[in-house]
Amino acid sequence: NAGVMQNPRHLVRRRGQEARLRCSPVKGHSHVYWYRQLPEEGLKFMVYLQKENIIDESGMPKERFSAEFPKEGPSILRIQQVVRGDSAAYFCASSSGSLNTEAFFGQGTRLTVV
């Protein structure tokens, strides 16, 4: 009875490296959402994906950030050439996409850029 699984839980990257964050949704869920959490700023919506499609990426920075949710495998949030300002907790959530349903959250990945 696995919920949303995110890995790694903690990720340390040097400036300029790439960060890859993975999210496996609740079994049977086809909708995935990524959020960034910074202290005092709450949860900022980044991107909403269905299998093989990006539905809404209005919260994604225009450069260096990308996300995918392939037909097989987990959803990936990729941050290229990380900078110190990318340090945050990144949460993934999933839902069935049905009307009137809640989102289920993973434990998050805490990214630290040194």
Partner 1 sequence: AQSVSQHNHHVILSEAASLELGCNYSYGGTVNLFWYVQYPGQHLQLLLKYFSGDPLVKGIKGFEAEFIKSKFSFNLRKPSVQWSDTAEYFCAVNAGASGTYKYIFGTGTRLKVLA
Contacts with partner 1, residue ranges (CB under 8 A):
4, 31, 33, 35, 40-43, 45, 48, 55-56, 91, 93, 95, 97, 99-100, 102-108
Nearer to partner 1, 7 or 104 (CB): 104
Q: Please, what is the minimum distance in Å from the beta carbon of residue 28 to partner 1?
A: 16
| Residue 29 token pair | 């869920």
Please report, in angstroms and rounded to a whole number, the separation of the first and last CA atoms in the chain. Answer: 36
Cβ pair 78, 86 in contact under 8 A: no
Nearer to partner 1, 17 or 96 (CB): 96
Nearer to partner 1, 53 or 81 (CB): 53
Residue 46, CB-side half-sphere exposure with 13 Å CA sphere:
27
Nearer to partner 1, 4 or 79 (CB): 4
Q: Please, what is the minimum distance in Å from the beta carbon of residue 99 to partner 1?
A: 6
Q: Please, what is the minimum distance in Å from the beta carbon of residue 89 to partner 1?
A: 10
Residues 6 or more apart whose CB falls under 8 angstroms from that of 72 comprise: none
What would you measure as the largest C-alpha separation in the chain, in angstroms?
Answer: 42
